Amino acid sequence: MEGKKRTFSGIQPSGDLHLGNYLGAIKNWVDFQDEFDNIYCIVDMHTITVRQNPADLRRRCLEQLAQYLACGLDPEKSILFIQSHVPAHAELGWVLGCYTQFGELSRMTQFKQKAQQHADNITGGLFTYPVLMAADILLYQADLVPVGEDQRQHVELCRDIAVRFNGIYGDTFTLPEVLNRKAGARVMGLTTPNAKMSKSIPEGCVLLMDKPEDIQRKFKRAVTDSDTERCVRFDPVAKPGVSNLMQIYSAVTEKSYDEIEAEFEGKGYGAFKPAVGDAVVERLRPIREEATRLLADKVYLESIYKSGAERASYLANKTLRKVYKKVGFVAR
């Protein structure tokens, strides 16, 4: 795709994809397909920084691929693959680790957070996770990385590593930039509107494969606000719960906040929450149905991830050969 900027992004198969993944990332990826040269990965190697059940991890990788496709990602327009199927990720990760300072990794906010969450399993992989992420990006000479604010620090470290390597060996890596998400895509938990939607809080997390009745139940129990006016108004500071629901409703219906406020004027939260649930049910229904159909066709899914890995490997190995030559390795 000559002339188009390249994007790289991925999601860990550490659990089922949820509404936040869809509205915050995958929906935008679909929108990017004609604008950029896109590479989207199921980052299973990152997932094992926390202990996984092997059978569950394999299952979730296939389910995630099926859901990527069901959401509208086109394997003819975007490269879709499983990270561990391209060994160059691990190989470049080792090299880049030798050009990353211990102090840089020690300052990573996510490492500190995850080390607290998994105090009984603080591994070297958890510590060096950002180096593998840098390898993911730099392997494909990505210009843009569509990530949220929680990953911006990792992209900045990726740039620092690339600048250091380029400074020693000459122009080798493209310096990636964060591709900012569209406004309103940061989905918070239905029961924790001040924190991102997370699988770790099931009642506040809507999964792409949830049944309609489960989605409705979660929205009916969603936290609104303890104010006295009980009106549907967008104010993230004073009304975080209602504002989160408005963002979700806006994202799935493409209505503006003004239109939403007018629609529910005088109706209160009792009418608003089920309406948001209905809108989400209808947006996710075709995704769930198509993903279910695709999961029954394992041969087709295998053809997609094999083809994707071949295309990804071609690009990745070009970069890896260049890096190996520059650091002085004997050619294979």
Look up 77 and say whether it is catalytic. Answer: no
Which residue among 4, 27, 182, 196 is the active-site one?
Answer: 196
Give the sheet arrangement for strand 177-178, strand by strand: 78-82, 37-42, 6-11, 144-145, 177-178
3-state secondary structure of 199: coil
Which of 173, 314, 189 has the alpha carbon at shortest distance from 247? Answer: 189
Look up 199 and say whether it is catalytic. Answer: yes
**CA 192/CA 195 separation, integer angstroms:** 6
Q: What are phi and psi of 55, to 5 degrees?
A: -65, -40
Q: Residue 314 is which amino acid?
A: Y
**CA 169/CA 166 separation, integer angstroms:** 5
- DSSP at 118: T
Look up 196 and say whether it is catalytic. Answer: yes
Q: What is the DSSP string of 135-197?
A: HHHHTTT-SEE---HHHHHHHHHHHHHHHHHHHHHSS-S---EE-PPPTT--PBPSS-TTSB-
**CA 267/CA 161 separation, integer angstroms:** 54
Which residues contact residue 323 at a Cβ distance below 8 angstroms, ignoring those fewer than 6 apart?
Answer: 92, 95, 165, 172
**CA 230/CA 239 separation, integer angstroms:** 10
Which residue among 5, 27, 112, 114 is the active-site one?
Answer: 114
Neighbours of 84 (CB within 10 A): 17
Four-residue CA torsion sign, 45, 51, 57, 61: negative
**CA 325/CA 308 separation, integer angstroms:** 26
Which residue among 5, 77, 199, 326 is the active-site one?
Answer: 199
* Catalytic residue list: 114, 196, 199
